[in-house]
A and B are shown apart, each in its own frame.
Chain A
């Protein structure tokens, strides 16, 4: 539509301007109005529900019968929680699992992204294969890895049929037969060290160390998620200007230095995003553990998410379970909230 500003037409233009002004007034309200239902939904289902859960977490509601009176003292459920052996184990497991999972997933994902940058044949194929597990359910992942890490069969069997174990025994070693998910041992325990520094650490009922059975779970989780990390890094590398590498090479940097000194530091924003998302995945890990190992030997693969689910819906100790879920939420918020604030600031 073209409007020519000739003498004869100012009335049309004026009318349109007036119209637009009038529309401007009601259009100011239309956007908040359209966004109102979603905002109300999130206000109730996220913030309202969290408030409710918090209320239950300080209440006396510890059985089937609903009781929303505030417990005396209000922090009672939280102190009960912190002295519960199973929850102490779960916190240890979460920390160890998160570290293992992040190191493995970022290591494999970043490694794959760098390898795929080289001029190799079949790049597309490799990329598709590595990303594939991310498209399927964690329950499926758990079901299959459960058998791969079964000490009787699975990978241990592979050590036998490939002749790997016979080579080991011929070389004078013993057969490699890890217990994987059935191994209850906790490696590198630091309890005595901790007690030497903080005497009150003597109260801990949990063995602080690396529960062996959690390693297979971290491997399965990384199998699923490394492709996502790879896709994120590939996207990040594609957005870096080529001149950066060229400049580094002209300055005499080796291929290794180009990555370790230039590319990887420049990908820091991607690493932060990936880190936040992986942490978020790790804190809510539930389906994988349920399908793969359950709570494991001596709760070695138990997670706070399983603790919440079982305490809430099986043991019906609603207040204790709610307190545990608020603790998980706090852990997530400590990382997520600053991240959200930072990214929204960067945009505006």
Chain B
């Protein structure tokens, strides 16, 4: 019974103790995460629960209670008020996303595989365009669009989003194409494919996941954007949904639960993308942040 403790026993005891500490740690971590999750879900709860209340019974003093009678009334009124601007947002976001993603992929390919003297500096100069506070370009932008006759139309807004989106889409694709093996590129060259053929038949088919990542990144950003929308499109008929929601929220003749339902409606497209294509969204979030 009094046999000397062996090395393996010490090890076992240590790991046992270690495991128990780890276990306690895991529980503490779990409780902290639950607290965080509650904090992060609280606004979502308020939005959804109050959006689903009957307009007659939606009182501010009852905002933490779930609806006593569930009703789609708030949502149908919100939809009535917001559906024109939702359609505007779709006609804005789809072309702007497709164009900025496509041009970005071509640019990124040439920046990654067809480097020339100064191309890295050029990329840096382009990237600065992603980081500027857009207030510094608003006045000339409005004047330019007025001059070209695009001011106030969804086309002016599409052009704006394409141009200011190009730096980041170019960068993400540049980083992506840099990771594709150079041998592949050489092989296409030896087979006699020119730069565009190589891009179209070899590089692009290998880039579908990256295309999805960039498209989602652009879709989310442009759908959620507000400053350009409110500046470039002053007429209510052509306004995207972020502007319409802000107007709805500032309109005191509108019932509170309708505003909540409207906020859910405006958030729904990007929320659905997040729920169903979250994997790509996360990649875009981190790819959009330039590597330090």
Contact = CB atoms under 8 A, between A and B. Distances in A.
Nearest to B127: A340
A148 B46 contact: yes
Contacts of B71: none
Interface centre among B120, B121, B292 (most CB of A within 10 A): B292
A325 interface: yes
A348 interface: yes
A147 B138 CA distance: 31
Interface stretch (A73-81, A182-190, A281-289): A281-289
B36 A128 contact: no
Contacts of B291: 273, 343, 347
B126 A45 contact: no
A115 B33 contact: yes
B164 interface: yes
User: Mostly helix, strand, loop or mixed at chain B's interface?
Assistant: helix
B257 to A, nearest CB: 11
B286 A235 contact: yes
A150 B42 CA distance: 15
B133 A128 contact: no
Interface in B100-137: 103, 106-107, 110-111, 114-116, 119-129, 131-137
B124 A135 contact: no
Nearest to B129: A46
A287 B64 CA distance: 26
Interface residues of B, number: 93
B235 interface: no
Interface string A32-47: 1011001101100110
B122 A39 contact: yes
B30 A121 contact: yes
B43 A148 contact: yes
Interface in A294-340: 304-305, 308-309, 312-313, 318, 321-322, 324-326, 328-329, 332, 336-337, 339-340
Interface stretch (B1-9, B149-157, B203-211, B242-250): B242-250
A133 to B, nearest CB: 7
A291 B64 CA distance: 21
A128 B274 CA distance: 9
A136 B223 CA distance: 9
Given A52-B140, A347-B120, A329 B132 contact: yes
A245 to B, nearest CB: 13
B126 A31 contact: no
B131 to A, nearest CB: 4
A45 B129 contact: yes
A345 B170 CA distance: 18
Contacts of B46: 144, 147-148
A341 B195 contact: no
B126 A42 contact: yes
Given A143-B245, A153-B61, A328-B133, A38 B139 contact: no
A108 interface: yes
A89 to B, nearest CB: 17
B128 A161 contact: no
A277 B33 CA distance: 25
A217 to B, nearest CB: 14
B147 interface: no
Contacts of B238: none
B227 A139 contact: no
A45 B135 contact: no
Contacts of B292: 269-270, 272-273, 276, 339, 342-343, 346
B125 to A, nearest CB: 7
A138 to B, nearest CB: 7
20 contacts: A41-B166, A46-B128, A115-B36, A136-B224, A137-B242, A139-B266, A140-B245, A140-B267, A143-B249, A143-B263, A158-B64, A280-B133, A284-B135, A287-B246, A305-B133, A313-B231, A322-B139, A329-B135, A340-B290, A341-B124
Given A45-B164, A140-B267, A325-B133, 13 more contacts: A32-B119, A34-B114, A39-B125, A131-B282, A136-B271, A137-B267, A139-B242, A139-B246, A140-B245, A277-B289, A284-B133, A305-B133, A343-B292
